[in-house]
Amino acid sequence: MLRVERLCAGYAGGTVLHEVSLDVRPATVQAVVGRNGAGKSTLVHTVAGLLRPHAGRIEIGGVQVAGRQPHRIARSGVGLVPQGRRVFSRLTVAEHLALAAAPWRAATPGGEGWTVPRILELLPRLAARLRHRGDQLSGGEQQMLAIARALLGQPRVLLLDEPCEGLAPDLAARVRDLVGALARGGLTVLLVEQQLQHAIEVADRIAVLEYGRVVYDRPAAEARADPGVLAAMLSVAAVGEPPASRPVPGLWPDPGTRPDHLRQG
């Protein structure tokens, strides 16, 4: 669904990404981990069109989109949840949702058909904060709003740039579970994470970026079986066994109300 091939990109003449290649299968989570400055956010920005690549290809559903303007890439089915959330501070939650659900966003071929009621069913906390402005929300609420905004664009591919950054552990767990559920519901996810444990819990495949190059790209099951290899690569303590799947309080108030497309998870 998302194919990145020999991608080179950077800023002001300097190259950050060096021939990065990734092949993200439909309805899976591809995590990209790496240290600060490894090029993770540069990768997300380039795929989203916010940064023009120096060379290489980016394909969404087989269509080459590298070098296109960000609004064209968004319309081809790419949703962005950026680092730091970047919700609009002057708009209320209701206005965010109304703007995100605008008619120009409803035509992505193969998109999921997200609607505001469906989003509020998935993220009931937002329903209680409809009149609050973006800058009046907690970090977790802002993250949910950023995800809601991206989903209402009917994406086929969701780019998440450190969605758990700055969140309390329980909120971070909810976000990870939501990401996993979205992938099981059919969405293709590129998840950039600095925390290996966060990535390893939810990903189907994990890549490691080091100085702008992919130095590891294996199924997550391999990483889970032998987490020491990855940990050594990232110079962090080995991660333990991923916690067992658990219900997520707050995301779905009652398992019976969980949306159909997520129940299989």
Partner 1 sequence: MAAGIRIDPYLVPALDGVAYGLLVFVAAAGLVLCFGVAGILNLAHGTLFAIGGYTAAALLDGGWPSLALALVAGTVAAAAAGALVAGLLTRSAARSHLTQALLTFGVALAGGSLLVGAFGPDDPPVRVPAALDGSVAVVGHRYPAYRLVFIAVAALLAGLLHLAVRRTRAGMLVRAAVDDAEMVAAMGVSPTRIRVGVLAIAGGLAGAAGVLGAPIIGPGTDTADTVLLLSLVVVVLGGLGSMAGTLLAALAVGQIQTLGVALAPSTAPFLLFAAMAVVLAVRARLPLAPRRAT
Q: Which residues bind partner 1 (CB under 8 A)?
A: 48-50, 69-71, 74-75, 80, 82, 84-91, 95, 98-100, 102, 104-105, 134-135, 137, 139, 142, 149, 153, 166
The residues pairing with 24 across neighbouring beta strands, listed in sequence order, are: 2
**CB of 93 vs partner 1, minimal distance in Å:** 12
Nearer to partner 1, 151 or 200 (CB): 151
Nearer to partner 1, 6 or 71 (CB): 71
Residue 234 and residue 31 in contact, taking contact as beta carbons nearer than 8 Å? no
**CB of 99 vs partner 1, minimal distance in Å:** 5
Nearer to partner 1, 164 or 262 (CB): 164
Nearer to partner 1, 91 or 229 (CB): 91
Residues near 214 by beta carbon (within 8 Å), at least 6 away in sequence: 20, 21, 22, 207, 208
SS (H, E, C) 124-139: HHHHCCCCCEHHHCCH
**CB of 139 vs partner 1, minimal distance in Å:** 8
**CB of 154 vs partner 1, minimal distance in Å:** 9
**CB of 5 vs partner 1, minimal distance in Å:** 22
Residue 196 neighbours by CB distance under 10 Å: 23
Amino acid present at 72: R
Nearer to partner 1, 47 or 230 (CB): 47
**DSSP single-letter state for residue 105:** G
Residue 77 and residue 109 in contact, taking contact as beta carbons nearer than 8 Å? yes
Nearer to partner 1, 100 or 239 (CB): 100
Residue 158 and residue 150 in contact, taking contact as beta carbons nearer than 8 Å? yes
Cα gap 211→183, rounded to integer Å: 28
Cα gap 151→147, rounded to integer Å: 6
Alpha carbon 108 to chain centroid distance?
18
**CB of 102 vs partner 1, minimal distance in Å:** 6
Residue 49 and residue 72 in contact, taking contact as beta carbons nearer than 8 Å? yes
Q: How many CA atoms lie within 13 A of 223 on its CB side?
A: 30
Nearer to partner 1, 156 or 258 (CB): 156
**CB of 137 vs partner 1, minimal distance in Å:** 8
